[in-house]
Amino acid sequence: MMLQVEKLVVNYGVINAVKGVSFNINQGEIVSLIGANGAGKTTILKTISGLLKPKSGKIVYENQEIQRQKAPKVVAEGISQVPEGRHIFPGLSVMENLQMGAFLIKDRQKVKQSFDEVFERFPILKQRKNQDAATLSGGEQQMLAMGRALMARPKLILLDEPSMGLAPIFINEIFDIIKEINNHGTTVLLIEQNAKKALSISDRGYVLSTGNVQLTGSGEELLANEEVQKAYLGG
């Protein structure tokens, strides 16, 4: 087991956003969290990555509790996040954006290796490496955000709504890239409004509702579940 979240409670001021959520991720899996807006999905990812502190509960990563660690330490331990909305750095080139992802890596040879791997996976970024990141298309910006996270050479990558706002042609490409990243050994925790796409590539999934886990099962089981179909798949 790579990551175990136990009875996680997270508040935004007086709002109880996450109400005792528990789930786990095994090494090498793709696991999806699905649910309506306001279910607590993004809050969970931000808490895992050290951007928010929980009121209570545990986050155990590779047998070490990390719920009180700061974000740079979490990245150093091997967890990177691709945030909702991409949040690339406008005014910086594609190359400079990618360099930001490698800020904790001191070994220049490893940084070069990360660049080579990212450019191999995203050839368009190599073509655009000197271009202002703000001038990229939405799909290209999403690839840049994913590439930036991969520069840190994570063992676990957290993806928050990677297909949001993308044209259909890019959506299929992004999900193919997620599968490829996973096939090369990176474990994936995925949040995605396109529940059908997410579950179709997931080993397992958890359905969240108002801060609680309501259902869990394999990707195939959740795709076939009538309740999930009605609520999230348009069935």
* Domains present along the chain, CATH in parentheses: 3-232 (3.40.50.300)
Residue 235: the pLDDT is 53
Residue 48: Cβ-neighbour burial (10 angstroms; 0-12, 13-18, 19+): buried
The candidate with the shortest Cα–Cα distance to 39, out of 18, 56, 69, 68, is 18
Predicted model pTM: 0.92
Cα–Cα distance, 195 to 177 (Å, whole number):
17
Residue 49: the pLDDT is 96
Cα–Cα distance, 76 to 78 (Å, whole number):
5
Residue 15: the pLDDT is 85
Phi, psi of 186 (to 5 degrees): -95, 125
Residue 212: the pLDDT is 87
Question: Do residues 73 and 54 touch, judged by C-beta distance below 8 A?
Answer: no
Residue 179: the pLDDT is 95
Q: At 108, is the secondary structure helix, strand, or coil?
A: helix
Angle (deg, nearest 10), helices 138-150 and 94-101: 30
Question: Do residues 54 and 31 touch, judged by C-beta distance below 8 A?
Answer: no
Residues of the chain below pLDDT 70: 234-235
Beta-bridge partners for 31:
189, 204
Residue 37: the pLDDT is 81
